Structure 1
Amino acid sequence: MTPRANWKGLLKIAEVTCQVALYTAVSTSERIAFHTLNRATGHRVQRRFIDSETGSPVEKADQVKGYETGSRDYVILEPEEIAEAIPETDKILSVSAFIRCDDIDDIYFDKPYYLAPADPHSEESYAVIHEGLRTKNVAALAQTVLFRRLRTVLIRVQGRGMIATTLNFDYEVLPAGKAFEDIPTLKVEGEMVELAEHIIQKKIGHFNPAEFDDRYEAGLAELVKAKLEGKEIQAPRKPQRGKVIDLMTALRDSAALVAKKAASSSSGKSKATAPKEKATPRRRKAS
């Protein structure tokens, strides 16, 4: 069953147009969700807005947006005024430029969507755009109004389809200088670097998302199951803290452990793949 589209519009590159649809690529709906309950009655509680000065409840009709300009000073914005400030949507995803796929720092990535043809009539033009991006190994930059906000979108090929990732604006990305300014400049060389390079080289691999489990969600699921079955809840053991050792010793121990695991893995594979020796057939005795 085809999922419901989050947005439908027109993908436009110069004079080439294509009706497209955006579909959710990442969802949190499978995560365990909790409700807030009244411990005494077991009933769900409701959230209400309270006036911070009078303590009286404020009904929805009396709630209004306000921008703080100073201590307890606000500019009030009516819903109609906010609506007028939102850019009008023309439902056109207009491509302005093409960039190399690795040209943009992924810190600007916001949320990915699957981009697919909206109807059978658009499949040919979609295929042309897809093949052009794939052949040139580039991504397209486009802008449109998505969900009441003007968004910049990066469109790139993914298998037979395309992914459209909304991008953060420059003012939304905080400069790294503040976080890194206190890191001292240290000169590291010699055996330390060689050991680090050795460990990295031995553990080179490929990203497979199926190999990473969400232990937090799994733990919550087990907790809920145990409560339903009336089982005793056992707190997980806390990992023991290792002894404090110097960096060089830690690197040497790590390199030895990695080498041992690699040798063990290699030995196991060779045993598993080695052809079994054929049994020599017994000769029948002459009668």
Structure 2
Amino acid sequence: MARPVWAGVLSFGLVSLPVGLYTATDSHTIHFHQLQRGTSDRVRNKRVNERTGEEVPFEEIVKGFDDGDAYVLVEPEELDDIAPGRSRSLDIEGFVDPAEVDPIFFDATYYLAPKGKEYGKIYSLVEQALAKADKAGIARFVMRSHEYLVAVKAENGLLTCHTLHWADEIRDPRAEIDSLPRKAKAAPKELRMAEQLVEALSMEWKPEEFHDTFREKVAALIKAKRAGESVEKAEPAAESTNVVDLSEALRASVERAAAGARGKNGKPPERAREQERGAAGPKDPQHMTKAELYKKAAAAGIPGRSAMTRDELRDALAATASGSGSGRRPRKAA
């Protein structure tokens, strides 16, 4: 069973509820050890005294603040002594509409559970009250020598605790990023096509349909290397769309999304596209996306395709069609 990462008392008004805080998410990232190249020797991090070079036991380490002239040493128990409620109080200061909290403020999510079955009735009462009012309780508490601002919400029949960033931790994008456009007026035709593309790609949110494909590919890479086999390289990233090609890119995107939607409703998307091409004739390579050109180049067995740009892929396909070879000389193997 899971163990709480923090335990204390959730309170608002004169109502107090002993609770435990449990991690709500789990990382499935594949972890690698650090090794010295050419060996199987692990590389480890150690806490070392920079003056003597000797390793320092964890229990001998204290926190020190550099005030310029000397270090001010602070013991862990001293931090607990000054913490609100001695680090064991989750005191709701007020309730807000959850929609008023901008998503950028949300950080990590935890589950709140009563510390014992005898507190189940109070827990259920708080959960139902928050659910019916559709409000989130804003509170502060201290965990591991840090104070957190949190939003306590009722979700799916239980209480959740979302840690929030402090207001002064949110960066001003205009001050931080110099490439953001100040004001760029979109052409009405392009805006309509962009809206059509959004509508065509709209879907119902089903998180269970999404999974970490990169993690799967890393696992496949490890398995292949263990067996001395090679793995297929990923398709090259799409090239940036320039202003000149924007309208054509939007039009092609809307058509492809529509074909994909028809595929979901009865025909495989690829077959639907093939039928469209059959009715309208083969698609001009000049109007193909880089991904489409790459697929065509792979089918034609053009070497070096993984290192080619969109224009180079198009020229290589044209050269192959005319029987003059593969176009430009490959820069590296596909």
Deviation at 1:246, TM superposition (A): 1.0
2:165 alignment partner, one of 164, 168, 189: 168
Amino acid at match of 1:76: Y
Report the counterpart of residue 130 of structure 1 in structure 2: 127
Change (3 A) 1:64 1:90: closer
The residue number in structure 1 matching 2:246 is: 247
CA contact (8 A) 2:64 2:74 kept: no
- Taking the TM superposition and a 5 Å limit, the aligned residue runs for 1:1-287 are 2-28=1-27, 30-48=28-46, 57-60=53-56, 67=65, 75-80=70-75, 83-85=77-79, 87-88=82-83, 89-179=86-176, 182-228=180-226, 230-239=227-236, 246-268=245-267
Quick one: which amino acid aligns to residue 109 of structure 2?
A: P
Write the deviation string for residues 250-285 of structure 1: whole angstroms up to 9, x where unpaired: 11111122222223333449xxxxxxxxxxxxxxxx
How far apart, CA to CA, are the structure 1 residues paired with 2:171 and 2:103? 13
Task: Provide TM-score, normalisation by structure 1.
Answer: 0.79
Matches of 2:132 and 2:148 in 1, distance apart?
26
Shift of 1:135: 0.5
Larger fraction in helix = 2
**Alpha-carbon contact 1:67-1:74 (below 8 Å) kept:** no
Residue identity matched to 1:257: R
Paired letter, 1:20: V
CA distance in structure 2 between the partners assigned to 1:168 and 1:123 by the alignment: 30
> Do the aligned partners of 1:20 and 1:115 also contact (CA within 8 Å) in 2?
yes
What is the aligned partner in structure 1 of residue 329 from structure 2? none
After superposition, the C-alpha distances for 1:192-233 in whole angstroms (9 at most, x for unaligned) are 1111111111221232222222222112211222233x2323
The amino acid of 2:56's aligned partner reads K
The question of whether the paired residues in 1 share the 8 Å contact of 2:66 and 2:72 is answered with no
Distance in structure 2 (CA, Å) of the matches to 1:241 and 1:144: 46
User: How far apart are 1:24 and its partner, in Å?
Assistant: 0.7
Structure 2, gaps ≥5 residues long: 269-334
- Measured at CA, do residues 42 and 133 of structure 1 come closer, stay the same or move farther in structure 2, by a change above 3 Å? same
Q: TM-score, length-normalised on structure 2?
A: 0.69
Deviations 1:49-79 (Å, cap 9, x if unpaired)? 5677x7x62432687655566xxx6642324
**Structure 1: 5+ residue stretches without partners:** 270-287
Inter-partner Cα distance in structure 2 for 1:119 and 1:48? 40
**Larger relative strand fraction:** 1
- Give distance in 2, aligned partners of 1:74 and 1:27: 43
